[in-house]
């Protein structure tokens, strides 16, 4: 396994093509707007080095028998699925941000079972290719970026009917030794912090969309891959050099628009190419795994937000007020409900034909449906407890100013035992989680990450077996 320092060094050896704020970034690792997101991924390596976290952060590869980072592991039991959720909660607690690596973990588990089933039915060679890639991933301890979401253009039209055929990623040429692909993937979490990309189709395809039914792996810095870095609220505060106004100065997340400009992919790294009948299964399984993930990572970040709200109440001198205690209890209740859903869909997991365990899809979608709601209420209560000063604070430069700094110190103090700076720090942390750059990894991503609320409701309707429930009711009522 790589150490945290080795991971950072490995990124420095890569040749990413990244545009940020209209400029080409020469050194993504040390760019002040990107560096905090790299630190979050780095934590997935750092915790794996600690003996006390070994059971959560590492696993034994069923392919090599070696100890590997759990983010490179295929789930071999429901216990593995449970450990995954607990690991993600731990990382959320440690970073209070999106640590980005779970997308690749969810992708490899989905691709493993689906390629096995394609080969079994059609006699293809995709699963062997994928296993070879996975072995390299485990041996090198790569961070792999799971890439599913296409720009989509007109959502009312199928891929082949779009005015611009590139609005869904597609194969444009088949050669003797590989394929050439063109298009883009949007909202690519952690793409610039990843060694490899694992690309999947974004929707269930029909025969006319066969060219869009693609799954393959490619280096994140391959020639033909362009990253356009996404804006986040308050992100340029990271360029100011301070430590207070950013809220969470050490950790963060990022997304890119990832463009494929006639990228060549050798067949050894192609795991689906035209087998449209299996695209829906791959989307469904990846989405299920990723919706399970939110029962861990969002809960860990929620733990930090609840703690920050409790600190704000103390610093404001209202911690003993009954309505404050009640609001904190409600935040805890909602957060633990999300965790319960993540654990439940994991505990009810079962093996696929390849031996990789799949979560209970109904419960995973229930988990994510709750995630689209509860973090918003947790955030609302945190903002309520924090008070309006959270969004009207003067800047850190004002606090440090030789003339007006003492005035800020005097008039923005809370309880006497707590400095104004400490009060400002916790309020800025709440602002960051509720409204700032971390909101992408907590609040807004809770709504749209791993699919919008309607996507989960569609899956809940499919998985719920309403006919069986009606049969139960008829039996009890004595009907027929």
Q: Residues with catalytic annotation?
A: 98, 102, 189, 255, 290, 294, 297, 445
Nearest to 288 by CA among 62, 61, 462, 44: 462
Spatial neighbors of 345 by CB under 8 A, at least 6 apart, are 81, 288, 292, 295, 359, 360, 361, 362, 363, 364, 366, 367
300 membership: H or E segment, kind and range = helix 279-316
Nearest Cα neighbor of 81 from 330, 351, 429 is: 351
Give burial (CB, 10 Å; 0-12/13-18/19+) of 232.
buried
Q: Is 129 exposed, middle or buried (0-12, 13-18, 19+ CB in 10 A)?
A: buried
Instruction: Please state, in angstroms and as integers, the Cα–Cα distance from residue 262 to each residue in 179, 211, 227, 275, 408, following that order.
Output: 9, 14, 14, 21, 56
Q: Give the DSSP letter string of 32-78.
A: TTTHHHHHHHHHHHHGGG-GGGHHHHEEE-TTT--EEEGGGPPP-SH
Q: How far is CA 29 from the centre of its chain?
A: 20
The residues near 292 (Cβ < 8 Å, ≥ 6 apart) are 81, 84, 85, 342, 345, 346, 359, 364, 367
């Amino acid at each position: 396994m790589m150490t945290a320092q080795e991971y950072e060094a490995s990124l420095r050896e890569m040749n990413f093509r990244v545009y940020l704020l209209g400029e080409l970034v020469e050194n993504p690792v040390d760019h002040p707007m990107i560096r905090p997101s790299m630190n979050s991924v780095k934590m997935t390596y750092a915790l794996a080095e600690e003996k006390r976290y070994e059971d959560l952060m590492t696993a034994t590869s069923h392919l090599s028998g070696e100890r590997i980072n759990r983010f490179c592991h295929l789930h071999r039991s429901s216990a593995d699925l449970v450990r995954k959720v607990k690991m993600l909660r731990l990382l959320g607690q440690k970073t209070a941000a999106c640590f980005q690596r779970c997308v690749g973990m969810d992708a490899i588990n989905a691709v493993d079972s689906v390629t096995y089933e394609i080969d079994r039915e059609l006699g293809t060679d995709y699963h062997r290719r994928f296993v070879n890639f996975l072995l390299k991933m485990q041996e090198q301890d790569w961070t792999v970026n799971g890439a599913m979401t296409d720009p989509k253009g007109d959502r009312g039209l199928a891929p082949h009917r779009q005015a611009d055929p590139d609005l869904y990623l597609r194969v444009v040429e088949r050669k003797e030794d590989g394929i050439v692909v063109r298009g883009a993937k949007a909202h690519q979490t952690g793409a610039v912090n990843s060694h490899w990309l694992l690309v999947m189709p974004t929707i269930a395809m029909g025969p006319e969309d066969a060219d869009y039914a693609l799954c393959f792996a490619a280096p994140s810095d391959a020639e033909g891959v362009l990253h356009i870095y996404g804006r986040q609220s308050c992100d340029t505060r990271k360029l100011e050099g301070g430590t207070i106004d950013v809220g969470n100065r050490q950790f963060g997340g990022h997304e890119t628009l990832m463009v494929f400009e006639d990228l060549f992919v050798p067949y050894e790294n192609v795991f689906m190419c035209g087998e449209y009948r299996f695209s829906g299964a791959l989307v469904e399984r990846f989405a299920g795994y990723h919706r399970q993930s939110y029962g861990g990572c969002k809960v860990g970040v929620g733990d930090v937000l609840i703690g920050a709200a409790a600190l704000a109440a103390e610093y404001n001198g209202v911690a003993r007020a009954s309505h404050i205690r009640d609001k904190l209890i409600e935040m805890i209740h909602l957060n633990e409900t999300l965790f319960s859903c993540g654990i439940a869909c994991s505990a009810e997991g079962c093996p696929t034909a390849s031996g990789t365990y799949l979560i209970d899809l109904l419960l995973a979608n229930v988990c994510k449906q709750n995630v689209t709601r509860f973090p918003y209420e947790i955030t609302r209560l945190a903002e309520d407890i924090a008070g309006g000063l959270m969004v009207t604070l003067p800047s850190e430069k004002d606090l440090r100013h030789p003339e007006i700094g003492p005035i800020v110190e005097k008039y923005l103090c809370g309880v006497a035992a707590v400095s104004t700076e400490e009060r400002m720090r916790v309020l800025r942390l709440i602002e960051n989680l509720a409204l700032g750059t971390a909101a992408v990894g907590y609040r807004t991503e809770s709504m749209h990450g791993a699919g919008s609320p309607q996507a989960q409701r569609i899956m809940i309707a499919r998985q719920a077996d309403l006919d069986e429930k009606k049969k139960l009711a008829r039996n009890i009522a004595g009907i027929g």
